[in-house]
Structure 1
Amino acid sequence: MRILICPDKFAGTLSAPEVAAAVADGWRDTAPDTEVVQRPLADGGPGFVEVLATALDGHRVPVDTVDPLGRKVAGEVLIRDDDGVPTGYLESAQACGLHLLAPDERDPRAATSYGLGVLMLTAVEAGARRLVIGLGGSAVNDGGAGMLTALGAVPLDSTGVALPYGGAALTAVAALDGAPRLRGVDLVAATDVDNPLLGLHGAANVYGPQKGASREDILLLDSALERFAGVLERDLPTCPAGLAGLPGAGAAGGLGAAILALGGRCESGIGLVTRLIGLDAALDATDLVITGEGSFDQQSLRGKVVAGVAGAARDRGVPCVVVAGRVSTGRREAAAAGVTEAHSLVEHYGGEDRDGVVQAMARPAEGLRAIAARLATQWRL
């Protein structure tokens, strides 16, 4: 029997490679003769670089950068040769991630994407001619203004003074000073978010609340991004017309818009990862797929990693099992998406009472190993 283990991260507890390793260990405890293939996944959000670095040749370049509040934080860039093109893989979450802030620190009015610009410059200095930037899980809503500042294009107010960091300051933006120091590199935003920059489906309205924005903040930030988009179209020769309405412009608090304005393009994050790690070939050669994520819920069925894996397994007639921290998706909906069965750490540790949830967060690897051992017994039969 051959099984393929290809989970996303369990946010706040385990990375995707750690999840895959725990499931593989549990399966082998019961069925050591099984051929087990691990292909941890990411969709552009936190863990994007780690997943690629685990699966691909290349070298990891450590980077000292800053978090959304300007504090020092460690990041890295993966540099590898892609068909003769030196390519740098990096992720916005390492510098702009919501997980870098305590709940009471979240404030998209002040949070900056400056640290992402530092990562990009490091990749360029390391010789990259293409940058693939994973977008997702951000704490910012500054439209990439901080990133552009780090690259050398500084937003100014009407008096010629550089703006403070954060999305709120963009209500006063009047111009960009300087040019981005990117040496003509090709830019790719890896994201599965297709939101525009503005409006009801835009960056501030859809993602602002989880970043700490009030209703008043959302209105302010949306207006600020509208003003900034106009400046980008006027002052950046590479910026396409109608920037604010382009699919993906609203990704990661408007970082998608900044990358598009620099002449970049958007690609599916999960599509890019699955192509690079050879997931299709692994799916073609397996008898059972195990995937998962921290919370298997309604959002999981709308273009996230689990939905993509389950759909691909269904198309091949291969059963797909989901393991998750918590499962709240109905069986009928899950089955329609290609999921054969789903198991949760919360249920493993006793259910939705406080102890079950606490244990699921405190002992995820142990729980995954036990669930996988049970699955091995069941599926071997």
Structure 2
Amino acid sequence: MKNIVIASDSFKGSLTSIEVSDAAEIGIRNVFPQCNVIKVNVADGGEGTVEVIVKALGGNIHTATVTDPLGRPINATYGIVEQKGIKTAVIEMSAASGLPHLLPEERNPLITSTYGTGLLILNALTQGCRKFLIGIGGSATNDAGTGMLSALGVKFLDSSGKLLKGSGSDLEYIAKIDVSSLLPEVKASEFIVACDVDTPFCGPEGAAHVFAPQKGATPQMVDVLDRGMFSFAKRIAATFNTNIIPIDGAGAAGGLGGAFKIFLNAHLTKGIEMVLNVISFDSIIRDADLVITGEGRVDFQTAKGKTAAGVLEHTKKAGIPTIVIGGSVEMCPTLKNMGFAGIYPIINTPVSLEKAMQKDFASANISRTIEQVLTTIKHFK
């Protein structure tokens, strides 16, 4: 083999995307020492996305003082890359509004807010950014994006004209939406949002019922939040003549996906697709004989927009055989029928989870697995 591309997600809790690629390269070199190995760091729009895109495009990391989900000041980082004179901000909303910022007893989606995410966008605007790549996984919020929008100039008023701050508990009291003060820089910007769930805005399968319990909501809170989401959806329909409820992904991040779509005219896309398009993945794999991808666990969920599935979608179009490795593999018909040339677990003996996730152990297993697979391929070539 002359050209092999490695494009793996991180093995969360064990190895970064870069470390997985380095380990796989060792296995390749042991079989094809003269092979041209191209290592591509990828992510699915969640943790690690900023680092991947900034490294791929030669950008920089910036730090801004914003607020956490409860309004407390924190420092959050985001990336800025520049291409053809256009500055692009790469933001993970969890950097400001993510669940890890809260202690378990602090989780309450009635009072948490995406205001800090709005401040991150605001900071990037002051740096001259007019294009935004935003991952919205890992939120601690169910405010339908009203906190973020408030930071950018949108006003939400109750029936008495009182300004609401933007939280889950405020949603059912919104009587008027005033977008007249939305910053002109926001209107002039392009937003691409990584959204990997097709959750509707509200209802039994909506944001509150599906995700709010993970963010600390009791059954009673879920009812209040869903009632508020439905009320806000009616207000949006009256203001914009648009039904937000059935839009795929409108319920992502507690309704933040819908807010981006309706208020900021964002394009919602799968996280891995956003990343692969930005780094020009199709050009990278053009001359590849084989592509190796991977993720910590490979199972039925792999097909639902995870990194390996996104890589495979591109390689299949190019006619390039692709194998996937995983820290663990749970084989199922969905996985078997995806079209991988091979699906390989890197663990070949019973071990504890703690042992399996040790960096040196996982790296050695990746190298060994790739070497074994390529040895077989070499034998039949």
- Per the normalisation by structure 2, the TM-score is 0.85
- Offset of residue 318 of structure 1: 3.4
Q: Is the 8 A contact 2:261 2:268 kept in 1?
A: no
Deviations 1:296-343 (A, max 9, x none): 22221122221122243344443323233332232x432311223334
Instruction: Calculate the aligned-residue CA RMSD, in Å.
Output: 2.9
Equivalent in 219, 231, 236 of residue 235 of structure 2: 231
Residues 101 and 15 (structure 1 numbering): CA distance in 2 closer, same or farther, change over 3 Å? farther
Letter aligned with residue 254 of structure 2: G
Secondary structure (helix, strand or coil) at the match of 2:65 reads strand
What is the aligned residue count?
Answer: 371
- Offset of residue 120 of structure 1: 0.4
- Where does structure 1 lack aligned partners over 5 or more consecutive residues? none
Deviations 1:84-117 (A, max 9, x none): 4332222212222234445554332232211110
Deviations 1:344-377 (A, max 9, x none): 46x45724xxxx212234x146413432233124
Q: Is the 8 A contact 1:141 1:253 kept in 2?
A: yes
Match of residue 280 from structure 1? 282
Secondary structure (helix, strand or coil) at the match of 2:139 reads coil
Equivalent in 190, 206, 209 of residue 210 of structure 2: 206
Mapped partners of 1:56, 1:298: distance in 2: 32
Residues 334 and 247 (structure 1 numbering): CA distance in 2 closer, same or farther, change over 3 Å? closer
Residues 36 and 196 (structure 1 numbering): CA distance in 2 closer, same or farther, change over 3 Å? same
Match of residue 117 from structure 1? 118
Deviates further, 180-189 or 18-27: 18-27
Does residue 313 of the first structure (1) align with residue 309 of the second (2)? Answer: no
Q: Is the 8 A contact 1:156 1:162 kept in 2?
A: yes
Does residue 190 of the first structure (1) align with residue 194 of the second (2)? Answer: yes
Mapped partners of 1:196, 1:325: distance in 2: 32
- Offset of residue 55 of structure 1: 0.5
Residues 113 and 348 (structure 1 numbering): CA distance in 2 closer, same or farther, change over 3 Å? farther
Does residue 371 of the first structure (1) align with residue 366 of the second (2)? Answer: yes
Deviations 1:46-69 (A, max 9, x none): 222111111013333222223323
Residues 216 and 281 (structure 1 numbering): CA distance in 2 closer, same or farther, change over 3 Å? same
Secondary structure (helix, strand or coil) at the match of 1:322 reads strand
Secondary structure (helix, strand or coil) at the match of 1:285 reads coil
Match of residue 350 from structure 2? 350
- Offset of residue 163 of structure 1: 3.8
Secondary structure (helix, strand or coil) at the match of 2:223 reads helix
Mapped partners of 1:291, 1:82: distance in 2: 27
Secondary structure (helix, strand or coil) at the match of 2:5 reads strand
Mapped partners of 2:105, 2:321: distance in 1: 43
Secondary structure (helix, strand or coil) at the match of 1:120 reads helix
Deviates further, 255-264 or 117-126: 255-264
**Share of identical aligned residues, percent?**
36
Q: Is the 8 A contact 1:131 1:185 kept in 2?
A: no
Secondary structure (helix, strand or coil) at the match of 1:170 reads helix
Secondary structure (helix, strand or coil) at the match of 2:172 reads helix
Mapped partners of 2:301, 2:241: distance in 1: 31
Residues 164 and 365 (structure 1 numbering): CA distance in 2 closer, same or farther, change over 3 Å? farther
Deviates further, 102-111 or 265-274: 102-111
- Offset of residue 379 of structure 1: 0.4
Secondary structure (helix, strand or coil) at the match of 2:55 reads helix
- Offset of residue 254 of structure 1: 0.8
Does residue 360 of the first structure (1) align with residue 364 of the second (2)? Answer: no
Q: Is the 8 A contact 2:355 2:361 kept in 1?
A: no
- Where does structure 2 lack aligned partners over 5 or more consecutive residues? none
Match of residue 44 from structure 1? 45
